Amino acid sequence: MPLFKTPDDLLQEGNDRLLRGDFPGAQRSFQSASDGFSKKGIGPGAQYARALSVVMGLSSPNPSAGDYQAVVEALLPLGELPIKLGPRTIAASQLRHEADLLREERSILASAPSTPEAHQAAGARLQALSVAYRQMGNQVLHLPELFQRGTVAASSKAPALAALAEEELGEASVVQDPKRAAEHNQNARNWWLQVGEAARAQAATERVQRYGRAVKCWFCGREVAGEGINFRQLPSDVTGFPASQEAGALAECDPQGGVVYACRPCGSAVERLADEKAQLRAKEIELRVNKMLESMRSKAGPMGQQWIPSTLPP
Ligand SMILES: [Zn+2]
């Protein structure tokens, strides 16, 4: 090695370090190469070396969407230029496409949708991402291969993303249309089974059953679907009570469990009424306790009073 390394030497050094798995070292070499090229003015060499150093930023244990975005932007000026990255040489545009998909994946998974609209949007993005990976076929993804040392075929990522998409679409429609939500979860179950995720498939199956279940409200007689969403069970004494016996009619109570089904408006009306009564009762008890404390304080005398609160503490 000459005493003063040229930018090209530094590029070579970076790639050697990369091959040994020394990513921080590789990043330093690529950055030095970029600085060296820059001294001769911003040119393709500096952009090339800088892009490699930014790619090394993905070696951290959990790169964020922002880290991937930085890679996308650093690769943009390189167009179709072939990039030597560890054991492989690939077109900059191809690596950029990969980084862009991984950025989208991190971005969606980091978002926490809480409204039907947000669930719908997340579902649509996951579906698009799944299709994009499927279109890449068996092409090996370079970034996971480089940093996680595993061979991941692009299309192998598609089913899990499709499953997550169906779950999001299910959440989006669960209140308005629980039967549709059940269908989405049925699809999710099939995708999870395809990738051998038995526990997630089972969870989806349970949602299918809950969302798809329809009953008749004991109180108002409305037919509703979606257990835990649009109707709930209320404990009640229905033993021996004549329930509707029409053929094909939906159940309005559990024949064994001593519960009746209440649609959301009826159920919440019962709950609020009970809550009001409970608060009123609590207030009455508080008044009685305060009266009792007052009488105890007056009997305890000046010395004993300090140990007795004047009102019931909250
Ligand atoms: Zn009702």
pLDDT digits (tens, 9 = 90+) for 167-185: 999 999 998 999 999 999 9
The mean pLDDT of 269-286, rounded to a whole number, is: 95
Centroid of ligand 1 to alpha carbon of 268 (angstroms): 10
How many whole angstroms from 279 Cα to the centroid of ligand 1?
24
Which range of residues forms the domain containing residue 65? 1-110
Q: Does 164 lie in the same domain as 83?
A: no
Within a domain: 3: yes
Q: Which residues of 165-182 are buried (b: 16+ CB within 10 A; e: fewer)?
A: bbbbbbbbbbeeebebbb
In terms of Cα–Cα distance, which of 216, 203, 228, 301 is closest to 261? 216
* pLDDT on residue 247: 67
Please identify which residue in the block is written with the tokens 């009424």. Answer: 273
Percent of the chain at pLDDT exceeding 90: 76
Q: State yes or no: pLDDT of 243 exceeds 70.
A: no
Identify residues whose C-beta is under 5 A from ligand 1, the ion: 217, 219-220, 263, 266
CA of 259 from ligand 1 middle (Å) equals 14
Task: Give the Å distance between the CA of 269 and the centre of ligand 1.
Answer: 9
Lookup result for tokens 């970034």: 143
- Flag whether pLDDT at 41 surpasses 80: no
pLDDT tier for residue 300 given thresholds of 50, 70 and 90: confident
Cα(257) to ligand 1 centroid in Å equals 19
Question: Domains in the chain: how many in total?
Answer: 2
**Residue 56 within any structural domain of the chain:** yes
Tell me, in angstroms, the distance from the centre of ligand 1 to residue 263's CA. Answer: 4
For residue 231, report the distance from its CA to the centre of ligand 1, in Å: 8
Is residue 54 located within the same domain as residue 119?
Answer: no
119 with 196, same domain: the answer is yes
Q: What share of the chain is helix, strand, coil (3-state, %, to 5)?
A: 65, 10, 25
Asked if residue 22 belongs to a domain, the reply is yes
Claim to verify: residue 74 and residue 134 sit in the same structural domain:
no
- Looking at 195, 212, 229, the residue that finishes a domain is 212
- Based on the fold, state whether residues 5 and 102 are members of the same structural domain: yes
Residues 95 and 7 in one domain: yes
pLDDT single digits (tens) 14-35: 999 999 999 999 999 999 999 9
105 and 117 together in one domain: no
Answer whether residue 239 shows pLDDT above 90: no
Is there a domain that residue 62 lies in?
yes
Model confidence pLDDT, tens digit, residues 119-148 = 999 999 999 999 999 999 999 999 988 888
Strand intervals (E) in the chain? 82-85, 88-91, 214-216, 223-225, 231-235, 253-254, 259-263
| Domain termination site, one of 83, 110, 137 | 110
User: Please, is 162 exposed, middle or buried when counting C-beta atoms within 10 Å of its C-beta (0-12, 13-18, 19+)?
Assistant: buried
Q: Is residue 184 part of a domain?
A: yes
User: Quick one: pLDDT band at residue 287, thresholds 50, 70, 90?
Assistant: very high
pLDDT digits (tens, 9 = 90+) for 44-96: 889 999 999 999 999 988 899 999 999 999 999 999 999 999 888 999 999 99
Would residue 266 count as lying in a domain? no
Same domain, 80 and 127: no
Last residue of a domain, one of 212, 246, 281: 212
- Burial (CB < 10 A; 0-12, 13-18, 19+), residue 27, is buried
Backbone angles phi, psi at 140, to 5 degrees: -75, 135
254 CA distance to ligand 1 middle (Å) = 16
SS3 146: helix
